[in-house]
Homo-oligomer: A and B are copies of this chain.
Amino acid sequence: MLIREMTKKESLDFLAHPRLGRLACASGGQPYITPMFFAHANNYLYSFSTVGQKLEWMRHNPLVCVEADEIESPQKWCCVIVSGRYEELPEMPEFEHERQLAWSLLQRRPMWWEPGFVATNLHGKERELKPVYFRVHVGQVSGRCATLEDQMKSIVK
């Protein structure tokens, strides 16, 4: 097996269609990871969440990291990592266009990992269901792909 670095274009292409990834934010040096469903457009990753620790942390420190991978086998996988900046899309006229864009991108993939929109029972009480739309401005992006050595040789030849 060989692991090679993906180009920026390959990495962004990997993010092109809506997918499940993981988002990390940090507070006081402590990172926190949650699964996140997102879609990419115009150098932004669009997503949504309900109010909670993650949103509170990102409002205070907008530096985030998003990771997405596809693992076909131990010898064949891709992993893309984005360092970016959180930007909330509040329910205000000036953000309406971006909120609509977020919704239209995300709804392309039918009901997949959408805890933000379902009844949640935590600590014996129902959680508030109001979604908060946000986007992550893509700063640095890097990606790695693993392929079998034989495949790599046939590509190089």
Contact B31 A64 (CB under 8 A): yes
Q: Which of B5, B29, B33 contacts A61 (CB 8 A)?
A: B29
Q: Is the CB of A24 within 8 A of B31?
A: yes
The verdict on A71 contacting chain B, using a C-beta distance below 8 Å, is yes
Taking the closest CB of chain B, its distance from the CB of A156, in whole angstroms, is 11
Stretch at the interface among A7-15, A38-46, A92-100, A110-118: A110-118
Total count of chain A residues near the partner, CB < 8 A: 44
A119: interface (CB < 8 Å): yes
Given A2-B121, A3-B121, A121-B2, CB of A67 within 8 Å of CB of B33: yes
Enumerate chain B residues within 8 angstroms of A5, measured Cβ to Cβ: 122-123
Q: Is the CB of B29 within 8 A of A118?
A: no
